[in-house]
A and B are shown apart, each in its own frame.
Chain A
């Protein structure tokens, strides 16, 4: 069964940092692009970042460019999102999703940025 399991969400102060992880199983992780998508409380879905199969091709939403870094470790079947200089507006559930057109979603991990 194809599964994605996010972890690392926490309460963090504004200006702080956090690293999210997404463990993948049930498919050949190294063959698929991966994404992070977030959903602020009571709001809609917002694409955050995408990484290609080898990790050398990345894209970011303007709202996180320069602050967030997406990466992957194909030997560990794991996707990451390093989040720096966090702001209140980054508060959201963060989902990892498989493939450019998001055919599989994880259960999400909650990031709360507040003092």
Chain B
């Protein structure tokens, strides 16, 4: 399967712990996106990479959140000192460069539960 993959698929953590999620985009895609989705809502944009450069961060991405994409390949999203409000599905997507930014390919997501 050559789609976007995310690991882990599920994560349960206690409040105050740090968690890290990984996303592997489609190999030839140089754009990578992170979204967060809570129950009953559509995904909300968090951040965007063009190759290894992080070009925009939503104000939803507080100082406890950090994302990286070393060497423009896989990406990681880390949440420090998790809070119960961080419980959500974290989705990664990728797309090729050039036009067509509205067609993004999403992974299956990582469901985070903070207890």
Query: Is the pairing of A and B real?
Result: no
B residues at A contact (CB < 8 Å): none
A residues at B contact (CB < 8 Å): none
